[in-house]
Structure 1
Amino acid sequence: MDKEIYNYTQNRELSWLRFDQRVLEEAQDPTVPLLERMKFVAIFTSNLDEFFMIRVGSLFDMAQTDANNKDSRTGMTPKEQLEKIYGAVAPLYKERDKTYAEIKKQLSPYGICGLDFKELEQSEKKYVKKYFKEQVLPILSPQIVDANHPFPHLLNKAIYVTANLKHKESEKGKTTLGIVPVPQFVSDILVLPGHDIRYIRMEKVIMEYLNLVFEQYEVSDANYICVTRNADVSPDDEALEVNDDFRLLMKETLHKRRKMAVVRLEIAEKLTGDMEKYFCEKFNITPAQIFRTKMPMKLDYIFSIAGNLPESMKRSLTYMPFSPQNSAHVQDGSMMKQVKKRDILLFYPYESMNPFLKLIKEASVDPNVLTIKITIYRLAKKARLVEYLCAAAENGKEVTVLIELRARFDEQNNIDWSERLEEAGCRVIYGFEGYKVHSKICLITYRNRNEIQYITQIGTGNYNEKTATMYTDLSLMTANQAIGRDAAEFFKNMSIGNLNGNYDYLIVSPTSLKQKILYLMDEQIKKGNNGRIIMKMNSLTDVDFIRKVSEASKAGVKVDLIVRGICCILPGVPGYTDNLRVMSVVGRFLEHPRIFSFGTGANQKIYIGSADMMTRNTEKRVEVACPVLDDNIKSQINHYLKVMLGDNIKARILQSNGAFVKKKASEPMIDSQAVFMEEAIHAKKETPEQENGLGRWLKGLLKR
Structure 2
Amino acid sequence: MKDIYMNRELSWLKFNERVLEEAENENVPLCERMSFASIYQSNLDEFFMVRVGSLMDQKLLNKEIRDNKTNMTSQEQIDAILKKVQKLNRRRDSVYAEIMEKVEDYGFHLTTFRKMEKEDESVMEAYFDGEIAPLISPTIVGKRQPFPFLRNKEIYAIVILETKNKKERMGIIPCTSNIFGRLIEIPGKSGYFVLSEEVILHFIAKVFKGYSVKAKSLIRITRNADIDTDALYDEDLDYREFMADLIKSRKKLSPVRLELSREMDGDVVDVLCRYLEVERSHVFRGDAPLDMSFLSSVRDKLRKNPELFFEKRVPQKSPQFEEGRSIIEQIKEKDKMLSYPYESIRPFLNLLNEAAHDKSVVSIKMTLYRLARHSKVIEALIEAAENGKEVVVLVELRARFDEENNIEWSRRLENAGCQVIYGLEGYKVHSKLCLITRKNEGQIEYITQIGTGNYNEATARLYTDLSLMTANVDIGLEAANIFQCLAKGEFVEQTKNLLVAPKCLQNRVLDLIDEEIGHAKAGEPAYIGLKLNSLTDKKIIDKLIEASCAGVKIDMVIRGICCLIPGVEGATANIRVLSIVGRFLEHSRIYIFGCDGREKYYISSADFMTRNTVRRVEVAAPVFDRDLQMELSEMFIMLLSDNQKARREDSNGNYTISDEGESPLNAQEEFYAHAYARAAQ
Compute the TM-score of the two structures, normalised by the length of structure 1. Answer: 0.94
1:302 deviates by 1.5
For 1:223, the equivalent position in structure 2 comes to 217
Distance of 1:237 and 1:356 partners within structure 2: 37
Task: Write out per-residue CA displacement over residues 3-46 of structure 1, whole angstroms, 9 at most, x where no aligned residue.
Answer: x9x93101000000000000000011111000100100000000
Amino acid at match of 1:222: K
Matches within 5 A, 1:181-196: 181-185=174-178, 186-193=180-187
1:651 deviates by 0.5
Task: Write out per-residue CA displacement over residues 558-584 of structure 1, whole angstroms, 9 at most, x where no aligned residue.
Answer: 001110000000001111101000010
1:301 deviates by 1.8
For 1:428, the equivalent position in structure 2 comes to 420
For 2:247, the equivalent position in structure 1 comes to 254
For 2:546, the equivalent position in structure 1 comes to 551
1:192 deviates by 3.4
1:156/1:595 CA distance change after superposition, 3 Å:
same
1:283 paired with 2:276, answer yes
Task: Write out per-residue CA displacement over residues 262-283 of structure 1, whole angstroms, 9 at most, x where no aligned residue.
Answer: 1110000112021121122122
Amino acid at match of 1:129: E
Distance of 1:625 and 1:280 partners within structure 2: 47
1:121/1:321 CA distance change after superposition, 3 Å:
farther
1:238 deviates by 5.7
For 1:698, the equivalent position in structure 2 comes to none
1:206 paired with 2:197, answer no
1:123 deviates by 5.3
Is the contact between residue 525 and residue 595 of structure 2 (CA under 8 Å) also seen in structure 1? no
Distance of 1:318 and 1:197 partners within structure 2: 19
Is the contact between residue 363 and residue 392 of structure 1 (CA under 8 Å) also seen in structure 2? yes
For 1:391, the equivalent position in structure 2 comes to 383
Moved more, 184-193 or 655-664: 184-193
Matched residue SS, 1:224: strand
1:109 deviates by 0.8
For 2:288, the equivalent position in structure 1 comes to 295
Unaligned stretches of 5+ in structure 1?
Answer: 687-704
1:285 deviates by 2.3
Moved more, 380-389 or 493-502: 493-502
Amino acid at match of 2:433: I
Matched residue SS, 1:684: helix
For 1:376, the equivalent position in structure 2 comes to 368
Task: Write out per-residue CA displacement over residues 73-131 of structure 1, whole angstroms, 9 at most, x where no aligned residue.
Answer: 00011011111111111101101101111111111111122110233345543443333
1:405 paired with 2:401, answer no
Amino acid at match of 2:501: S
1:195 deviates by 8.3
1:219 deviates by 2.0
Matched residue SS, 1:319: coil
For 2:311, the equivalent position in structure 1 comes to 320
1:196 deviates by 5.2
Is the contact between residue 318 and residue 679 of structure 2 (CA under 8 Å) also seen in structure 1? yes
Task: Write out per-residue CA displacement over residues 231-257 of structure 1, whole angstroms, 9 at most, x where no aligned residue.
Answer: 111224464225x21111111211221
Matches within 5 A, 1:455-534: 455-528=447-520, 530-534=525-529
For 1:354, the equivalent position in structure 2 comes to 346
Matched residue SS, 2:348: helix
For 2:135, the equivalent position in structure 1 comes to 139
Matches within 5 A, 1:621-632: 621-632=616-627
Matches within 5 A, 1:562-577: 562-577=557-572
Amino acid at match of 2:266: G
Task: Write out per-residue CA displacement over residues 374-394 of structure 1, whole angstroms, 9 at most, x where no aligned residue.
Answer: 000001111111011111101
Is the contact between residue 263 and residue 285 of structure 1 (CA under 8 Å) also seen in structure 2? yes
Task: Write out per-residue CA displacement over residues 33-67 of structure 1, whole angstroms, 9 at most, x where no aligned residue.
Answer: 00100100000000011110000000000011144
For 2:631, the equivalent position in structure 1 comes to 636
Is the contact between residue 449 and residue 470 of structure 2 (CA under 8 Å) also seen in structure 1? yes
Moved more, 216-225 or 374-383: 216-225
Moved more, 42-51 or 330-339: 330-339
Is the contact between residue 67 and residue 77 of structure 1 (CA under 8 Å) also seen in structure 2? no
Distance of 2:246 and 2:357 partners within structure 1: 38
Correspondence for 2:43 among 40, 47, 69: 47
Count of aligned pairs: 676
1:667 deviates by 1.9
Distance of 2:137 and 2:579 partners within structure 1: 47
Amino acid at match of 1:458: I
For 1:689, the equivalent position in structure 2 comes to none
Is the contact between residue 537 and residue 613 of structure 1 (CA under 8 Å) also seen in structure 2? yes
Correspondence for 1:174 among 162, 167, 177: 167
Is the contact between residue 486 and residue 503 of structure 1 (CA under 8 Å) also seen in structure 2? yes
1:55/1:89 CA distance change after superposition, 3 Å:
same
1:326 deviates by 0.9
Amino acid at match of 2:431: S
For 1:542, the equivalent position in structure 2 comes to 537
For 2:76, the equivalent position in structure 1 comes to 80
For 1:307, the equivalent position in structure 2 comes to 300
Is the contact between residue 349 and residue 473 of structure 1 (CA under 8 Å) also seen in structure 2? yes
1:665 deviates by 6.0
1:134 deviates by 2.2
Amino acid at match of 2:568: V
Task: Write out per-residue CA displacement over residues 351-381 of structure 1, whole angstroms, 9 at most, x where no aligned residue.
Answer: 1111101100111111111100000000111
Is the contact between residue 437 and residue 623 of structure 1 (CA under 8 Å) also seen in structure 2? yes
Is the contact between residue 233 and residue 242 of structure 2 (CA under 8 Å) also seen in structure 1? no
Correspondence for 2:406 among 414, 430, 435: 414
Amino acid at match of 1:79: Q
Distance of 1:573 and 1:35 partners within structure 2: 39
For 1:653, the equivalent position in structure 2 comes to 648
Distance of 2:429 and 2:566 partners within structure 1: 32
Matched residue SS, 1:37: helix
1:502 deviates by 2.5
Distance of 1:270 and 1:508 partners within structure 2: 53
Is the contact between residue 234 and residue 253 of structure 1 (CA under 8 Å) also seen in structure 2? no
Is the contact between residue 230 and residue 426 of structure 2 (CA under 8 Å) also seen in structure 1? no
Correspondence for 1:583 among 557, 564, 578: 578
For 1:677, the equivalent position in structure 2 comes to 672
Correspondence for 2:64 among 64, 68, 73: 68
**Identical columns (%):** 45
Please, what is the CA RMSD of the aligned residues?
A: 1.5
Matched residue SS, 1:118: coil
Compute the TM-score of the two structures, normalised by the length of structure 2. Answer: 0.97
Correspondence for 2:14 among 18, 28, 46: 18
Amino acid at match of 2:74: P
Task: Write out per-residue CA displacement over residues 166-203 of structure 1, whole angstroms, 9 at most, x where no aligned residue.
Answer: 23xx2x20010000001331322213356854211111
Distance of 1:441 and 1:127 partners within structure 2: 58
For 1:117, the equivalent position in structure 2 comes to 113
Distance of 1:443 and 1:52 partners within structure 2: 38
Correspondence for 1:241 among 235, 250, 255: 235
1:578/1:371 CA distance change after superposition, 3 Å:
same
Distance of 2:185 and 2:447 partners within structure 1: 52
1:299 deviates by 1.3
Is the contact between residue 324 and residue 469 of structure 1 (CA under 8 Å) also seen in structure 2? yes
Distance of 2:191 and 2:400 partners within structure 1: 35
For 1:692, the equivalent position in structure 2 comes to none
Amino acid at match of 2:244: K
Matched residue SS, 2:597: helix
For 1:702, the equivalent position in structure 2 comes to none
Unaligned stretches of 5+ in structure 2?
Answer: none
